[in-house]
């Protein structure tokens, strides 16, 4: 009988914890930094070869403690993020700039992993996508005599 009561108690505790994990984070509802990002994906559309491959993601700390971005890592060498070095105060925002190498023609789908001390999402992945046009062909001018 004691084993049955213990087993039932463990099941109830597990169900209670599982139900709480699925609850959305509400600003100010948790102690600590809470990271919100303005978008999960940036679509460049079609970009000229060697064109502007820079985009910006805006991070806002909606928590009640400083948000520290400890690492931003691109999925490959062609995707280079630049993250804030200073802590982001509660209520403040900062930018993550991502530079994609547009000297690589064709479609692309890349990601950037943001690692922080956020209580809601210590590791967050944002994505970039688009297509780079082919390299322009240099026109040759025939020599004049």
- What residues contact 112, with CB distance under 8 A and at least 6 apart? 57, 72, 73, 74, 75, 79, 81, 96, 98, 125, 126, 127, 128
Percent of all residues in the chain with a pLDDT value above 70, rounded to a whole number:
74
Which structure tokens are listed for 140?
């040759």
63 and 30 in contact (C-beta within 8 Å)? yes
In total, the chain counts a number of residues equal to 145
If you average pLDDT over residues 125-145, what whole number do you get?
84
Domain ranges for the chain, please list them. 27-129
Of 9 and 91, the structure prediction assigns the larger pLDDT to 91
**How many helical (H) and strand (E) elements, i.e. helices and strands, does the chain have?**
1, 8
How do residues 86-108 score in pLDDT, each as one tens digit?
Answer: 999 999 999 999 999 999 999 99
Global pTM?
0.74
Q: What is the pLDDT of residue 102?
A: 96
Candidates 41, 49, 44, 54; CA nearest to 102 is 49
**What whole-number distance in Å separates Cα of residue 91 and Cα of residue 100?**
29
CATH code of domain 27-129: 2.60.40.10
């Amino acid at each position: 009988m004691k084993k049955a009561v213990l087993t039932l108690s463990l099941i109830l505790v597990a169900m209670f914890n599982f139900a709480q994990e699925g609850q959305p984070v509400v600003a100010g509802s948790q102690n600590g930094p809470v990271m919100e990002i303005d978008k999960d994906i940036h679509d460049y559309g079609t970009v000229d070869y060697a064109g502007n491959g820079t985009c910006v993601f805006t991070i806002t700390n909606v928590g009640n403690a400083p948000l520290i971005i400890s690492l931003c890592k691109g999925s490959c060498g062609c995707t280079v993020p630049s993250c804030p070095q200073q802590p982001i105060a509660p209520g403040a925002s900062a930018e993550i700039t991502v530079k994609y190498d547009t000297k690589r023609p064709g479609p692309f789908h890349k990601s950037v992993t943001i690692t922080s001390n956020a209580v809601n999402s210590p590791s967050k992945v944002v994505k970039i996508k688009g297509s780079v046009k082919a390299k322009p062909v240099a026109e040759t001018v025939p020599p004049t005599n």
